[in-house]
Structure 1
C-alpha cells in the first residue's frame, strides 16, 4: 500500500545540495518528520550539522546505499524520498536502484531522483557519462509504479563559476565554444533546494519533470554581469565551434585526462549548444521562491577574498 505520510527522507543529506534541502524543509515544514540519511561515518564527520538537525527535530539515520537493510529501515514509514546523492555508476545506478527498491517495499509515495542538471532527457547518449548514468537509472523509475518527480535546474552557479571555471578571474577571461548569444540556465544550490521542496508539495508534479532556473544568460550577458559585479571586464575567448569542443573532449580522453577534469566541459558543451536548454520553466508556479540572479550571485562569489574562492 502506498504511504502518503508527510515524512521525508533525504538521501545524501551531508552533501552540498542535501543539507540545503533539509534546511528548506525546516523553513517550510517545521512540524513534519524529516530524516537525514547519511552513511555511518558522515554523522561524525558533520557532527555540528547533525547536532543542529537533531535540535530542530530532524532524525539522523544511517543509510548506506550498499546495505539494503539500512535502506529498509531508513524508508520505513516515509512518504517522500529525495535523492541528492552524488558519485559514479555504483552510486547513481546501483545505489539508487537499491534505494528505489527499498522505497517501493516501504510503500513510499514519491521518489525524487538525483538529476538536478540541465535537460538530460534531450541530450544524446554518449556526450556526458554522468548524465548518461542518471538517465540509465531514471529509466527504472517510471515503470516501477512509484510516484516520481524529476527536478532540472541547469548548471549549479556554485559549480559553473568555481575559479577557474567558465570564468577565470585571474586571467580575466570567459571561455566558450559555439555562439556567445546562446542562453544558458543557472541556479544557485539554495534555490534548487527551495524549488525542490516547493515541487514535492505540489500534487500536480507527480510523474512529471519540473524545470526551474535561477537565471538564463548568454556568454555576453555573463561577461556584462561580471563587469557590473566586480568592476572588471572579461575578455571573451572563443575556443571554436561546438564540434571543436567535443574534439577537445576526445583529445583529453585520449591523453588520459582524469574524468573529473573533463566533467565541466561535458556539462557545458550541451548548454552552449542549446541541447541542454530547459523547457517549460516552472518558476511562476512557485512564487514563494525568489531566485538569486546571476548578478547577485557574482557580487557575493567573486568579491570574496578579492575575487578568489
Structure 2
C-alpha cells in the first residue's frame, strides 16, 4: 500500500472521484463523514476500498486523531462561510496538530488570485481561507480547474442546447474559457496529493475553448445551426449582477444563488488560466473539447 491520504467531502461528486483515483494509484484512502451521512453514499466509498471514519467535524481533537500518520489531507468540501472558512479551518488545524505535512484546500474553481475581491462571493471565501492557510507551516497545493465542464450541459447563457444559442459578454467571442471534467480534476488531484513536491498553485484545464470555437464545434457535432451573440458589455453585466444581488438578500444563504451563478460567468470572461500544468503529471489523460461535447450534444 502507498501513501495514506485523508479526504473530506468524499461523498460529493468530486470527492468520491478523488477517492477512486487515489485507490487506483494504490494509496491508503480514508474518508471522514458525519454521523448522519447517507448510508448509500458510504457504501459507494466502501466498495472502492475506502476506509470510512465517522467523526464530529466540530471536534478539533477528534479530527486530529484521525489525521495522525496521514501524508496528506484533501478537502473537497463545498459550502458557504460555515464550511469553507469555519469547518475547513478546523480541518486544517487538526491536520497540523496531527502532524500531517500536506494539505489540499477546496479551491476547485477559476484561479481567483487574479480577480478583484468582491466580484465573486464564493471565491472571496476561498481567498479568506487561503490567507490563513498561508500563515501556517503546512505545505499546501491549490488546484484551479476553471469551470467544471458539466456546466456546458445545463443550458446556461454560454451554451443553451435547448434554444441552440451561444452567448458571451464584452468583446470576448475569441476569449479562451477554461473547462475541466470532474474525472480529469480528480485524477490530477490524486497525483498532486501523492506528490511531496507539488507546487503551491496549479492551473489546469481539460480544454480551453472560445465562444466562436464552441459555436463551430456544436455545429460540426450536431449538424445543426446555432446562434452566437453578445449579451452585453462586461461593465453592464457587472452592474446587473450587483443589482440582482441587492434585490435578493436571501441568496446570501444560498450556495448557488442566481447572482452567484452570474458571478461565476463573469469570472470566466474576466480571467483565464495562462500557465497550465497539464503536463505536470504524465499519467493524467485529458479530455478534449470535441470528445466531451459529443457525450451530450448529438
Give the TM-score normalised by the residue count of structure 2. 0.92
Q: Matched residue pairs, number?
A: 291
1:86 to 73, 78, 88: 78
Q: Distance in 1 between matches of 2:81 and 2:203?
A: 24
Alignment CA distance shift 1:37-1:226 (3 Å): farther
Kindly indicate whether residue 296 of structure 2 is the aligned counterpart of residue 301 of structure 1.
yes
Runs of 4+ in 1 over 4 A off after TM superposition: none
> What is the SS of the residue equivalent to 1:248?
helix
1:246 to 197, 220, 238: 238
Over residues 135-154 of structure 1, what are the superposed CA-to-partner deviations in whole Å (9 max), with x where a residue is unaligned?
10011112100011111111
Q: Is the 8 A contact 2:173 2:211 kept in 1?
A: yes
Kindly report which structure 2 residues correspond to 1:45-194, keeping only aligned pairs within 5 A, or say none: 45-53=40-48, 56=49, 58-164=50-156, 166-178=158-170, 179-194=172-187
- Aligned equivalent of 1:12: 9
Kindly indicate whether residue 266 of structure 2 is the aligned counterpart of residue 292 of structure 1.
no
Displacement of 1:300 after TM fit?
Answer: 0.9
Q: Is the 8 A contact 2:22 2:190 kept in 1?
A: yes
Over residues 187-208 of structure 1, what are the superposed CA-to-partner deviations in whole Å (9 max), with x where a residue is unaligned?
00000011111223333324x1
1:272 to 244, 249, 269: 269
1:204 to 169, 175, 197: 197
Q: Distance in 2 between matches of 1:34 and 1:264?
A: 33
- Aligned equivalent of 1:234: 226
Provide the alpha-carbon RMSD of the alignment. Answer: 1.8
Displacement of 1:230 after TM fit?
Answer: 2.4
Q: Distance in 1 between matches of 2:41 and 2:202?
A: 31
Q: Distance in 2 between matches of 1:190 and 1:79?
A: 23
Alignment CA distance shift 1:44-1:239 (3 Å): same
Q: Is the 8 A contact 1:249 1:262 kept in 2?
A: yes
Q: Is the 8 A contact 2:7 2:75 kept in 1?
A: yes
Bigger drift between 40-49 and 108-117 goes to: 40-49
Q: Is the 8 A contact 1:13 1:84 kept in 2?
A: yes
Q: Distance in 1 between matches of 2:148 and 2:187?
A: 14
Over residues 219-250 of structure 1, what are the superposed CA-to-partner deviations in whole Å (9 max), with x where a residue is unaligned?
11112222223222321131111111111102
Q: Distance in 2 between matches of 1:264 and 1:33?
A: 36
Structure 2, gaps ≥5 residues long: none
